[in-house]
Structure 1
Amino acid sequence: MDLQHLLVFVAAGLLLNLAPGPDVVFIVTQSVRGGVRAGIAAAAGITAGCFVHILAAALGLSALVAASATAFTVLKWVGAAYLVWVGLKMLRSRGPAALAQAGEGAASPLALRQVFVQGFGTNVLNPKVALFFLAFLPQFITPAMPHKTLAFLGLGLLFNFNALWVDIGWALAAAWLARRVGAVRRVMGGLERVAGCMFLAFGLKLALTDNPSA
């Protein structure tokens, strides 16, 4: 790939990662609740989940999921159930009281591990992420390119590396606002409720997603 196409790939990836979605909502919510470290743990978990999808897509497993109605349906319902569970957990939180330490990095190591695992789960159980990599990355791999699997892995790793810094940026911005802006911090008390509703919507939307091979 020449430099021009590589820059187009990087720019497109950054724009896609800046768009709000389940991952961004999760990172922002965790940053507000537990500070920068919690937000970075969420971003790291999501990035780890993306690595699984990239490897699966490079090896053809994601194509198999997309082609198999049964495999896609099973993963779809597991992912939808997980997103709904995360949403319900956010709705049942203590609200403003849970945000008293927001932006101060007060999350314990155990809590950070739990955030990482939740971030990993919200990403790796979403078949739409696998389908995204199958649809997006091949556009930048020419038929004449040797070692297409390695090229796929390389582009996937580059995309994920850039996404990690965007996600960390979301975490830093959310924690900074929660800590320094009093009015915003008070409003953040309702953010987890809003995020919970959004995760419920994401889960329902995923449950209603049709198999692309159908």
Structure 2
Amino acid sequence: MDVGYWFVFLSAAVLLTLSPGPDLIYILSRTITQGKKIGFASSLGVCSGALFHVVAAALGLSAILATSAMAFTVVKYVGAAYLIYLGYKALRSAGESFDTESSGEKNVSFWDAFKQGVLIDVLNPKVAVFFMAFLPQFVRPNEGSVTVQLIVLGVIVIVVGLTIEFLFVLLADKATRFLRNSRRFCAWLDRALGTILVGLGVRLALMEKP
């Protein structure tokens, strides 16, 4: 066991998770607007989408996004359109998504939130490029299969990220739980969530190919 190697790798993984990127912003916005259950589901979905990119990077599939401008652009715009669509739905709800008595069937379920998180991450080509750039730096050719190492390292990054995101979800839920009982505040939360999602979609659409 190389202590220095793992210290650098895990420190990098922690710092990357703590940085205010689009994934963390999305998860926190979901938690603040709809509670820790949906926050957990969103985090699990985002991390599952990241796992897809880890496997793709290990198998070399992400090289297509890294080298093909057309593939990168198509995935980018599909992901941006999906985020903007989710934002539009939130903007239209005007607090109804929190009214469990009159519109319980409209509430986002755990499974729906999970699927949304998966799609948001899978349709973000920058995540694929990130794993292709980050993980190979820690591969040690003399330690066995490069593919296996890439997958193991990627899973560790995801587990670290999931742990930290869950802590953020718990803190965000506790800080805003009492405010969600106000219908007026719920309407404001829906508008804020919609604005954030649309903003993330526009940000993704304007992103240049790394």
With normalisation by structure 1, the TM-score equals 0.84
Q: Take 2:130 and 2:170, find their aligned partners in 1: how far apart are those partners? A: 26
Q: Which residue of 2 aligns with 1:165?
A: 163
Post-superposition shift, 1:172?
A: 0.8
Q: Which residue of 2 aligns with 1:41?
A: 41
What is the RMSD computed on CA atoms of the aligned residues?
2.8
Contact 1:27 1:42 in 2 (8 A): yes
Q: Take 2:137 and 2:70, find their aligned partners in 1: how far apart are those partners? A: 27
Q: Which residue of 2 aligns with 1:117?
A: 115
Q: Take 2:113 and 2:171, find their aligned partners in 1: how far apart are those partners? A: 18
Q: Take 2:198 and 2:106, find their aligned partners in 1: how far apart are those partners? A: 27
What percentage of residue pairs aligned between the two structures are identical? 40
Distance 1:64 1:114, change over 3 A: same
Q: Is the partner of 2:20 in helix, strand or coil?
A: coil
Q: Which residue of 1 aligns with 2:148?
A: 150
Contact 2:42 2:117 in 1 (8 A): yes
Post-superposition shift, 1:35?
A: 2.2
Amino acid at match of 1:169: L
Alignment of 1:15-164 (within 5 A): 15-95=15-95, 98-99=97-98, 111-164=109-162
Q: Take 2:194 and 2:108, find their aligned partners in 1: how far apart are those partners? A: 22
- 5+ unaligned residues in a row in structure 2: which ranges? none
Q: Take 1:187 and 1:14, find their aligned partners in 2: how far apart are those partners? A: 33
With normalisation by structure 2, the TM-score equals 0.85
Distance 1:16 1:107, change over 3 A: farther
CA distances 1:56-77 after superposition (whole Å, capped 9, x unpaired): 0100111112111221111111
Contact 1:78 1:125 in 2 (8 A): yes
- 5+ unaligned residues in a row in structure 1: which ranges? none
Distance 1:57 1:113, change over 3 A: same
Q: Take 2:196 and 2:93, find their aligned partners in 1: how far apart are those partners? A: 15
Q: Which residue of 2 aligns with 1:202?
A: 200
